[in-house]
């Protein structure tokens, strides 16, 4: 009997215990999603309509979890990108950045094209009326050019401390008699609105990391500071994520309590909802998986299966930025090079919003179909370009796509108020598209890591050649005690 154990390895019970121990958090997070759904439906059907205060009490544990994650975003983002780029030479940083940006741009374009094909084929808004299901949406009058210019302005914040708390945006003020006056003649002002300017922080971190890399020996003390800060943030993340099952449970339950009659809403917006969902599924498990396979010669599904906790957290929080610490930790556990992970994931959480791009293209054409507005090929191309730009400018926070949706509607000449038509189902679609965004970021990191393996190993060998003799014992991977 002992010989059989020696040949087959550990006892089956021991292997089972190790499996449960290593996947316990993932299992609990998934249970939190389904448990929150069950709890929300149970509470919704067991009492009169819940008041805002009662829903707030239910959501309170989830809010605390979300605040903890958001607290980690700025220090983790700055330290991760700076340390990742600073530890690489300039040519290696360029290669990784180029591969990541090409991947993100390709997947975003594919998502928009897929969305346009589906909405043009299914035509979910043709011959239908949508009444009395709209909600309140925050809209503002602004030109598409202003939104794009603000996107570039936020890349270069005037104050890096201010960028951690505020974003710049253009405001158009109507003249005294604004009736019939076009927006181009409105007075141009500006303001700083509350919310982290992630684009500005990413740009600053990239420049600072590049500078540290060029300084070589002189920059090592500063590089050590950011590497230590990044490691400390990941340790704190490992503490916080054990709260994720509880946080996700209460966040999902509270959202279900807030919604109106979902059956009635789906009756009117069902085709729109199914079109977006079909697009997200085809893009996430079709387009991205095909690109991943063609590039790495590996199937994406085993990697997706290992990301269950990340995807469940993304669905529960509805925020790709808040999920970023958990995504980095998951990829570290999968053996991805930390230098790649800490650069590609923060950049992806900022500029790569495939699900948002697809949703905005579908939503704009759906509303045009409802209004019986015929769109030319030029309009559709304009929607494609604008949806891509809008997805880059969308913040990684819940329902941020509604804000940039106004920009896409302006492209086809639709009023900003039409956003209220789709807001009834946006909260649920937002969670699904966030999940696809996060999955795309993670697979992109694995893809870039696979393409960069030879370069990264070559750089490691280069560091060995530059090392002092007494340091080679520690640096050489083939040396064993």
- Lowest mean pLDDT across 62-66, 163-167, 383-387: 383-387
More confident residue, 66 or 404: 66
CB 204 within 8 A of CB 79: no
Residue 355's nearest CA partner among 112, 130, 192, 127 is 112
Which domains does the chain show, CATH number per domain? Answer: 22-461 (1.10.3860.10)
CB 364 within 8 A of CB 412: yes
Structure tokens at 241: 């994520």
Max avg pLDDT among 118-127, 196-205, 302-311: 302-311
Q: How much is the average pLDDT of 252-260?
A: 79
For residue 378, what pLDDT is reported?
A: 74
| Cβ neighbours of 393 (radius 10 Å) | 20
Q: How much is the average pLDDT of 96-100?
A: 89
More confident residue, 447 or 178: 447
Q: How much is the average pLDDT of 85-100?
A: 84
Burial class of 347 by CB neighbour count within 10 A (0 to 12, 13 to 18, 19+): buried
- As beta bridge partners, residue 299 has none
Residue 466 in this model has a pLDDT that exceeds 50: no
Element (H, E) at 216: none
For residue 88, what pLDDT is reported?
A: 78
More confident residue, 436 or 30: 436
- Assessment of whether the complete model's pTM goes beyond 0.85: no
| Cβ neighbours of 259 (radius 10 Å) | 14
Element (H, E) at 46: none
Structure tokens at 228: 């230590």
Average pLDDT of every residue of the chain: 80
Residue 280 in this model has a pLDDT that exceeds 90: yes
> Residue 176, SS3?
coil
| Cβ neighbours of 172 (radius 10 Å) | 16
Residue 175 in this model has a pLDDT that exceeds 90: no
> Residue 190, SS3?
strand
Show contacts of 154-161: CB within 8 Å, 24+ apart. Answer: 154/197, 154/199, 154/200, 155/199, 155/200, 155/203, 156/200, 156/203, 157/197, 157/200, 157/201, 157/204, 160/200, 160/201, 160/204
Q: How much is the average pLDDT of 206-232?
A: 90
Banded model confidence at residue 293, pLDDT cuts 50, 70, 90: very high
Max avg pLDDT among 25-34, 71-80, 86-95, 124-133: 71-80
Strands (E), 335-389: none
For residue 260, what pLDDT is reported?
A: 65
């Amino acid at each position: 009997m002992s010989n059989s154990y020696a040949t087959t390895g550990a006892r089956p019970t021991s292997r089972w215990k190790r499996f449960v121990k290593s996947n316990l958090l993932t299992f609990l997070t998934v249970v939190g999603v389904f448990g929150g759904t069950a709890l929300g439906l149970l509470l919704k059907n067991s009492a009169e309509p819940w008041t805002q205060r009662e829903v707030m009490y239910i959501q309170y544990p989830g809010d605390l979890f979300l605040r903890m994650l958001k607290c980690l975003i700025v220090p983790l983002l700055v330290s991760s990108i700076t340390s990742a780029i600073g530890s690489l030479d300039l040519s290696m940083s360029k290669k990784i950045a180029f591969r990541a940006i090409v991947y993100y741009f390709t997947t975003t374009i594919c998502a928009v094209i897929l969305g346009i094909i589906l909405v043009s084929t299914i035509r979910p808004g043709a011959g239908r009326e949508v009444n009395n299901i709209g909600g309140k949406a925050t809209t503002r009058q602004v030109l598409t050019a202003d939104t794009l210019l603000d996107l570039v302005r936020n890349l270069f914040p005037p104050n890096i401390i201010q960028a951690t708390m505020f974003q710049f945006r253009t405001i158009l003020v109507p003249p005294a008699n604004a009736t019939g006056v076009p927006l181009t003649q409105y007075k141009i002002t500006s303001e700083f609105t509350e919310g982290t300017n992630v684009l500005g922080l990413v740009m600053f971190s990239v420049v600072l990391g590049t500078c540290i890399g060029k300084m070589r020996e002189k920059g090592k003390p500063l590089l050590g500071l950011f590497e230590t800060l990044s490691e400390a943030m990941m340790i704190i993340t490992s503490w916080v994520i054990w709260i994720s099952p509880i946080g996700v449970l209460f966040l999902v339950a509270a959202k279900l309590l807030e919604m109106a009659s979902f059956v009635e809403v789906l009756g009117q917006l069902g085709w729109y909802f199914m079109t977006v969902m079909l697009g997200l599924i085809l893009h996430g498990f079709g387009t991205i998986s095909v690109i991943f396979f063609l590039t790495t010669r590996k199937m994406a599904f085993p990697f997706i299966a290992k990301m269950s906790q990340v995807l469940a957290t993304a669905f529960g929080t509805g925020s790709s930025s808040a999920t970023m610490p958990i995504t980095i930790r998951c990829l570290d556990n999968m053996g991805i090079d930390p230098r790649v992970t800490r650069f590609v994931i923060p950049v992806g959480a900022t500029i790569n919003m495939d699900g948002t791009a697809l949703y905005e293209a579908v939503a704009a054409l759906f509303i045009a179909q409802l209004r019986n507005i015929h769109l030319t090929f030029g309009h559709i191309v304009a929607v494609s370009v604008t949806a891509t730009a809008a997805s880059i400018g969308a913040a990684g926070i819940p329902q941020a796509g509604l804000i940039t949706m106004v920009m896409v509607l302006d492209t086809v000449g639709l009023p900003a108020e039409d956003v209220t038509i789709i807001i009834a189902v946006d909260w649920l679609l937002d969670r699904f598209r966030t999940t696809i965004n996060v999955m795309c970021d993670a697979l992109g990191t694995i893809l870039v890591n696979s393409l960069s393996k030879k370069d990264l190993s070559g750089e490691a060998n280069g560091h060995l050649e530059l090392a002092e003799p007494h340091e080679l014992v520690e640096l050489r991977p083939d040396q064993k005690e």
